[in-house]
């Protein structure tokens, strides 16, 4: 009887300790947009990466799609168009790379090297793949001069039919004209 009482107490204490550890680990899970140096700092399960090309690293999910990002983030497609060509390939983009980006309401919601901005604006000219097309996200602050957008061009090379090329009218050689 005493042995079963002790094992019952031990089992209860073990379950309580396990629940506390799980709650502690869940509370420490890094969020999208957190600083990092290695992917393991973003997720022990391997479902997030550390984008070390961003200032201070950026915990994110690569190759996201519509409604696949964790809460508090949206999927943003960077480099979504061919330079000089406007595109609206929201569902099946032909160009670019998508990442989950932390949503924000102001610069205060972002880390120091980041600004709260619409990724569709210059200089990013990205696409939001989620339903919240007006979302602002924490983006690395731009450096240098921000050039004007030339991507709204309707260059003929961007049309499905291609550019209009005039027919070539080759001159007729005289010896060909006199032949029977």
Round the average pLDDT of the chain to a whole number and report it: 75
* Other residues' Cβ atoms within 10 Å of the Cβ of residue 130: 19
Shared-domain flag, residues 76 and 92: yes
In a domain, 171, yes or no: no
Report how far residue 38's alpha carbon sits from residue 50's, in angstroms, rounded to the nearest whole number. Answer: 6
pLDDT digits (tens, 9 = 90+) for 169-179: 656 666 655 55
Percent of the chain topping pLDDT 90: 46
**Domain housing 15:** 1-30
Q: How many domains does the chain have?
A: 2
pLDDT digits (tens, 9 = 90+) for 67-125: 999 999 999 999 866 555 655 554 445 668 999 999 999 999 999 999 999 999 989 88
In a domain, 161, yes or no: no
Shared-domain flag, residues 62 and 146: yes
- Give the pairing type, strands 114-117 and 127-128: unpaired
Shared-domain flag, residues 50 and 8: no
Residue 150: predicted pLDDT: 42
Shared-domain flag, residues 5 and 51: no
Shared-domain flag, residues 42 and 119: yes
How far, in Å, are 45, 76, 98, 122 from residue 118 at the CA level? 30, 10, 15, 9
Residue 148: predicted pLDDT: 46
In a domain, 88, yes or no: yes
Shared-domain flag, residues 15 and 101: no
In a domain, 114, yes or no: yes
Per-residue b or e along 133-156, where b marks 16 or more CB atoms closer than 10 Å to that residue's CB: eebbbbbbeeeeeeeeeebeeeee
- In the chain, how long is the greatest CA-to-CA distance? 121
């Amino acid at each position: 009887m005493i042995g079963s009482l002790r094992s019952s107490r031990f089992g209860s204490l073990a379950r309580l300790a396990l629940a506390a550890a799980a709650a502690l680990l869940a509370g420490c899970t890094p969020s999208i947009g957190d600083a990092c140096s290695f992917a393991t700092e973003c997720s022990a399960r391997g479902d997030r990466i550390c984008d070390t090309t961003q200032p201070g690293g950026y915990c994110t999910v690569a190759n996201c799609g519509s409604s696949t990002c964790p809460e508090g983030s949206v999927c943003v497609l960077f480099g979504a168009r061919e330079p000089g060509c406007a595109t609206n390939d929201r569902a099946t983009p032909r160009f670019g790379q998508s990442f989950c980006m932390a949503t924000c309401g102001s610069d205060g919601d972002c880390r120091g090297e980041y600004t709260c901005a619409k990724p569709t604006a210059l200089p990013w000219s990205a696409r939001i793949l989620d339903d919240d097309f007006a979302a602002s996200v924490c983006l690395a602050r731009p450096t240098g001069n921000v050039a004007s957008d030339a991507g709204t061009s309707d260059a003929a090379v961007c049309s499905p039919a291609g550019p209009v090329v005039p027919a070539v009218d080759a001159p007729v050689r005289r010896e060909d004209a006199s032949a029977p």
